Amino acid sequence: MDDLLKKYARDEEFRKDLEHLPYIQFPSEWLVKVIGPFAGASVRFLVKKDIKQDWSISVYADLHESLGFYDGPYWEIYPFEFDGYQDVYRCPLKDTEKLILKINEALENHKESKGE
C-alpha cells in the first residue's frame, strides 16, 4: 500500500507541474523522442535530425531545481560545447525560443565534432 501512495503522490506532483510547462514549437526537421522523467527531472526528451544518427541531444526540464543550480525552473541541454569543451547549457523554462536556438546549436556543434 505504501508504494501505491508514493506513486499517487508522484502522479499528483506531475499533474501540478504540467501547468508550468510551456508549449514548444519544434522545427519540422527535428526528430523528438519523449522519454519518461527520471532522476529528479520533470520531463525529458531527445532530439536528432537524422534517424540514422547514433547520437542525440538530451533535454530535460527541472521545475524544482533538484538537479542543478539555476535561478528558477530551467531547461538543460546536453551535450553542449563551449569553446571546444563539452558541458551543459541551461535556460529559463519559459524561454522556449532560446531553448530551440541552443538545441539547434548543440546539434550543429555535435555534428561537426562527429565529422558529419
Identify any residues that bridge with 76 across adjacent strands, giving them in sequence order.
Answer: 60, 90
Report the SS3 class of residue 35: strand
Q: Give pLDDT, residue 115.
A: 57
Q: 523528438: which residue's cell? A: 32
Q: Is 8 or 75 the better-scoring residue by pLDDT? A: 75
Using the predicted structure, report yes or no on whether residue 15 has a pLDDT greater than 60. Answer: yes
Identify any residues that bridge with 32 across adjacent strands, giving them in sequence order.
Answer: 47
The overall average pLDDT reported for the chain is 85
Using the predicted structure, report yes or no on whether residue 4 has a pLDDT greater than 80. Answer: no
**DSSP summary character for residue 84:** T
Reported confidence tier of residue 37, pLDDT bands at 50, 70, 90:
confident
Q: Is 50 or 64 the better-scoring residue by pLDDT? A: 50
Here the cell at position 11 is 502522479
Query: Can you give the pTM of this predicted structure?
Result: 0.83
Q: Give pLDDT, residue 67.
A: 79
Using the predicted structure, report yes or no on whether residue 12 has a pLDDT greater than 90. Answer: no
Residues in contact with 80: Cβ distance below 8 Å, sequence separation at least 6, in sequence order = 86, 87, 88, 89, 102, 105, 106, 109
Using the predicted structure, report yes or no on whether residue 114 has a pLDDT greater than 90. Answer: no
Reported confidence tier of residue 90, pLDDT bands at 50, 70, 90:
very high
Q: What is the dihedral of CA 46, 52, 54, 55, to 10 degrees?
A: -30
